[in-house]
Amino acid sequence: MKTALSIGGSDPTAGAGIQADLKVFHSLGVYGLTVITAITSQDTTGVKNICPLSQEVVRLQLYTLKEDIKIEAMKTGMLYSVEIVDVVCDFIKDADITKVVVDPVYVSSSGRVLTDRDTLKRVVKGLLPLTKVVTPNIKEASLISGINIESLDTLYEAAKRIKSFGVDVVIITGGHFFEKGSGDATVDFYYDGNLFQKIESRRYRGEYHGTGCVFSSALSAYLCYYDSVLEAARKAKEFMDKSIQKAFFPGRGMGILGV
């Protein structure tokens, strides 16, 4: 069985973070491994508190796994601090992992800021050159690129800028509002330095928790089986579509995807 590692925060609702990633990996036939960077207190209405783990605790989790299990793909979610980003960068190089997906988590679905600008800068300078695919949403792509994305043209310029930081492929998610007549579709934008490709699916009403986590973990799982990032991204988009169709609302806030 293929193995994939999720490095990120713990979400007690299991709708996002490492719990959601584990469910996605299991659904797609991949054995999931996890390394926790922070413990959050949150529900479907939002994040109430974040308790980060130390750099040394994160390091110990990673290198203990490395000594025992071969990791074929990995994804990062909330890394929280500059120090944790540095540990993850060292680990990727030491473990020689090439199929790395970075979900550059900055703001939660409910709007809570989950890290600081210095950490995001370290992700850009240190982690992206080691990354196969980065999957920012519109807001994150604007922050990373320094370009305010207001149109398809500025989105394309932002994708090119992010690509220049050393990542192989950029996928900017949630660009549905840039195209006329796209009210019933959601569009992600794939850019690999040559090809600028739209990946579309149906748009659903409502707010859903953990969409970025589920997409990036599905992408990581599919990269265990596909050499083509574009093909893996299309499969991940299809998985997202089915997960939203099966979403339910266990609390007073956002829906939980049915993965």
- The CA-based angle 140-18-145, given to 5 degrees, is 15
C-beta separation of 75 from 6 below 8 A: yes
Q: At residue 177, does pLDDT exceed 60?
A: no
Number of helices (H) and strands (E), helices first, in the chain? 8, 11
pLDDT at 25: 98
Q: At residue 28, does pLDDT exceed 90?
A: yes
The CA distance from 126 to 12, in Å, is 30
pLDDT at 175: 61
pLDDT band (50, 70, 90) for residue 109: low
For 189, other C-beta atoms within 10 Å of its C-beta total 22
pLDDT at 108: 63
Please report, rounded to a whole number, the percentage of residues in the chain having pLDDT higher than 70: 93
pLDDT at 117: 79
C-beta separation of 103 from 212 below 8 A: yes
State the average pLDDT over residues 68-90.
96
Q: What is the domain extent for residue 178?
A: 3-256
pLDDT at 52: 94
User: The domain that contains 181 carries what CATH number?
Assistant: 3.40.1190.20
Give the total number of structural domains in the chain.
Answer: 1
Please report, rounded to a whole number, the percentage of residues in the chain having pLDDT higher than 90: 82
Q: Average pLDDT, whole number, for the chain?
A: 92
Q: At residue 178, does pLDDT exceed 90?
A: no
Distances (CA, A) of 56 to 8, 36, 37, 212: 15, 12, 10, 27
Instruction: Please give the backbone phi and psi of residue 206, each rounded to the nearest 5 degrees, phi first.
Output: 105, 170
> Which range is least confidently modeled, 107-111, 188-192, 203-207?
107-111
pLDDT band (50, 70, 90) for residue 199: very high
pLDDT at 183: 58
From the list 247, 226, 254, 253, the residue with the least C-alpha distance to 73 is: 226
